[in-house]
Copies of this chain bind each other. A is one copy, B any other.
Amino acid sequence: MVGMTRPDYTLTVNCPDQKGIIAAVTQIIAAGGGNILNLSQHTAVDVNIFLLKADFSVDETFAQAAFETTFQEVAERFQMDWRLHDKAARPRVAILVSKTSHCLYELLLKHQDGELECDFPVIIANHSDLAAVATQFHIPFFQVDPAKGKAAYEADVQKILEDWKIDTVVLARYMQILSPDFTRRWAYQVINIHHGFLPAFMGAKPYHQAWHRGVKIIGATAHFANENLDQGPIISQDTIQVPDTCSIAEFVQMGKDVERKVLFEALKSFLNRQVFVYGGRTFLLP
């Protein structure tokens, strides 16, 4: 949501559902010098969890450290899991790619258009095909070599991510499986796009699977990568109707538009702090 006054902070809270949480939270914000611009709140009744996101601007009396101290007291009373995000600190996001360009272009073009509140300091690839695209957008491009063996190769990736102070990793049709060590180290910070409607059609060649099954709809799924391939918490999904007069090659082609849309939406929601993880799944607040 775009406002004429831009928010300075986003506060995210989740805790067991109880009385009076919203009043308590909003009162601390008001008392600390904050003005709430947008507040989203949801109670997931099936698992009794309360979720809240508040975007607020601040006046000159606001002091972040003091706010956090005061808030922690309330947080303990309500058993809150919470975090205050300073909007001025833009996350640094690395994009990992292989040979296919449509997801990479989508992220770079939307970023250029001001729709993604992050920096893309570096693009990492296991092939050289997309180096020219990185250069067009003036972003350093690193090619790493899976032939070295997974451990050595992932160490190279890890080193680049550290050198460039990366917060979050986006796998934009990156065709390598990450090790459990890697996904654990980057838990809930690696976003992958899978070119199928999960949990159907996990693994390789989902469009071939879908065509032979005779599905009438194909989809794509963006999710956090974890140690189980294509089984991490889902962030975003979309589908399209496919006429039965389509070939497998046409499925692949038509699927690209869904993939790029879903990956963009997932990253955007993530950057806007809309994505909460609880009980093995995500909850996205509006």
Contact with B along A119-136 (1 / 0, CB 8 A): 000000000000000001
Contact A238 B217, beta carbon cutoff 8 Å: yes
CB-CB < 8 A to A236: which residues of B? 216
Determine if A102 is an interface residue (Cβ-Cβ < 8 Å). yes
A246 to B282, CA, bound (A): 13
Contact with B along A31-52 (1 / 0, CB 8 A): 0000111111111111010000
A246 CB to closest chain B CB (Å) equals 8
Q: Which one of A20-28, A147-155, A170-178 contacts B?
A: A20-28
Determine if A183 is an interface residue (Cβ-Cβ < 8 Å). no
Chain A residue total in the interface (Cβ 8 A): 73
Determine if A219 is an interface residue (Cβ-Cβ < 8 Å). yes
A48 CB to closest chain B CB (Å) equals 8
CB-CB < 8 A to A214: which residues of B? 233-234, 280-283
Contact A257 B261, beta carbon cutoff 8 Å: yes
Q: Could you say which of B23, B40, B46, B281 contacts A27, with CB atoms under 8 Å apart?
A: B23
A210 to B171, CA, bound (A): 24
Interface of A, secondary structure class, is mixed
CB-CB < 8 A to A22: which residues of B? 26, 36, 39
Contact with B along A186-220 (1 / 0, CB 8 A): 00000000000111110000000001111111010
A131 CB to closest chain B CB (Å) equals 14
A97 to B242, CA, bound (A): 30
Contact B215 A237, beta carbon cutoff 8 Å: yes
List 11 additional contacts besides A4-B48, A199-B213; criterion CB under 8 Å: A1-B42, A4-B45, A19-B35, A20-B30, A22-B36, A26-B26, A113-B256, A197-B197, A213-B234, A214-B280, A214-B283
